[in-house]
Amino acid sequence: MEGSGDEESEAEGPLQQLVKRQRREKRELQAKIQGMKNVVPKNDKKRRKQLADEVAKLEAELEKKHKEELKQLKESSPEQNKEKKAALEKEREERIAEAEIENLTGARHLESQKLASLLAARHLEIKQIPSDGHCMYRAIEDQLKDHHNSCTVAALRNQTAKYMQSHLDDFLPFLTNPSTGDMYSREEFEKYCDDIANTAAWGGQLELRALSHILQTPIEVVQMDSPPIIVGEEYSGKPIVLVYMRHAYGLGEHYNSVKLLTDTATENGS
């Protein structure tokens, strides 16, 4: 078997060998990135943001390296242009096939299907929110429109930070330094609140708790594998409904809004 592999490698042209190596390097980088993600606690928003930046840097560096290699090969072997085009086309077709398989069987697709089913039972469907660090606040902003409230993302962030600062004892015990495991110091807590107000720091359950008190409205979070989480149950009225998606994007966690399920039969006049 080894001899057969060597003969096959020798039979390949330089471009085919380069494409094969570059694909292997991409897979190795993705494995490395996954390992990096696994060691960063999900509740450590600062390190997750740093990780996102590092991942983007690694991917950009590899892409730049691969483009340079292809350029050099093309310049050194103009006669291989036809071979290059054929190899790239073959790679493109293989990527499309892999993407189709991922779309049908991947965690992202399965999660979307399950959530769609859960929401459909309530005559709701997902309303997509951009993944920009503000997704939880944007989803709440969208939901508040149905409550005749036009509060902006910036206002929600500022109010959340101020509420948490003025109710320190309700939130500080739940925040720990990921490096030491110790409860946040007062200074770390102030920095945490400042990030809420002034950066695109991701929001989570603590911020949802604060927002339920600020808005005096229950907030329900629908998720795939667990019963919905409801914060602010002590308040009456129509709850704000969010969708928590664990596999939506590269680094995982994401919040979407919901809207009434579109009735395609009614739309079509049937």
Question: Among all residues, which ones are annotated catalytic?
Answer: 132, 135, 254
How many other CB atoms sit within 10 Å of the CB of residue 18? 18
Integer Cα distance of 91 and 75 in angstroms: 21
Integer Cα distance of 30 and 187 in angstroms: 36
Q: How far is CA 58 from CA 4, 28, 37, 62, in A?
A: 35, 12, 13, 6
Q: Within 13 A of 10's CA, how many CA atoms are on the CB side?
A: 6
**DSSP letters for 147-168:** TT----HHHHHHHHHHHHHHTH
